[in-house]
Amino acid sequence: MVYNESEMLAIQVKILIAGGFGVGKTTFVGSTSEIEPLNTEELITAASMGIDNLSRTVDKSTTTVAFDFGRLTIPQHNIVLYLFGTPGQERFWFMWDELSAGALGAIVLADTRRLQESFAAIDFFENRGIRFLVAVNVFDDAFPYEPDEVRAALELDSQVPIVLCDARDRRSAMSVLRTLIQYLLAAASAYSA
């Protein structure tokens, strides 16, 4: 097909916002998106989940995972950044390759009252080689741990950034996004050096 779209179309990139249920993913997407965050769903089939015995009884049935997403346009450079909040139920979204394919990087939100809920997302990104940072979403009644304590608890590599944030606050959330891009840039520079 001969379209000249490359000249007029923006470069589209995506960043994933992951973490356990209730950690602030939807809030983060809402704080950073320029559009009212949208919500949609994807079908996960029994086959894609590898459940053979189930597919026999519930023929070709599917279940759905809901996710929300937002968008940020960088008009000066003709870039559109999409922010995808991964479904809280990580054992479903892990089976959905399309969501993470081609992602620039990821933000793993963590709540210090239940850090273990961040493990699944961290493992996933580590295994896929997707660069990520950890943003500790500071909830009012949470003990104020130091980033290094969180790093130790999560067994994170020393280069993975850990930042504190308030996902409800646009400036705070935007600063997390910038930190992620700075980290990706530093990593890309090291890579090509």
Q: Residue 174 binds which entry of another protein, ligand GDP, Mg ion, none, with Cβ cut-offs from 5 to 8 Å by kind?
A: another protein
Which of ligand GDP, Mg ion, another protein, none does residue 147 bind (CB under 5 to 8 Å by kind)?
none
How far CA 3 is from CA of 8, 13, 122, 126, 180, in Å, comes to 10, 21, 40, 38, 34
Q: H or E element: which one contains 79?
A: strand 79-85
Which of these ranges, 21-29, 54-62, 112-120, 174-182, lies near ligand GDP under the rule CB under 6 A?
21-29
- Whether residue 123 contacts residue 39, with contact meaning beta carbons closer than 8 Å, is answered with no
Is residue 33 involved in binding Mg ion (CB under 5 A)? no
Residue holding tokens 């705070």? Answer: 172
Where residue 146 falls (left for φ over 0; alpha for ψ -120 to 50; beta otherwise) is beta
Provide the token pair at 6.
Answer: 């490359």
* Comparison of 25 and 131: residue with beta carbon closer to Mg ion: 25
26 counts as binding Mg ion under rule CB under 5 A: yes
CA distance 80 to 58: 41
Contact positions vs Mg ion (CB under 5 A): 25-26
Contact positions vs another protein (CB under 8 A): 1, 3, 5-6, 9, 11-14, 21, 38-43, 49-51, 53-54, 58, 60-66, 69, 71-72, 74-77, 79, 81-82, 87-89, 91-92, 98-99, 101-102, 104-105, 131, 174, 177-178, 181-182, 184-185, 188-189, 191-192
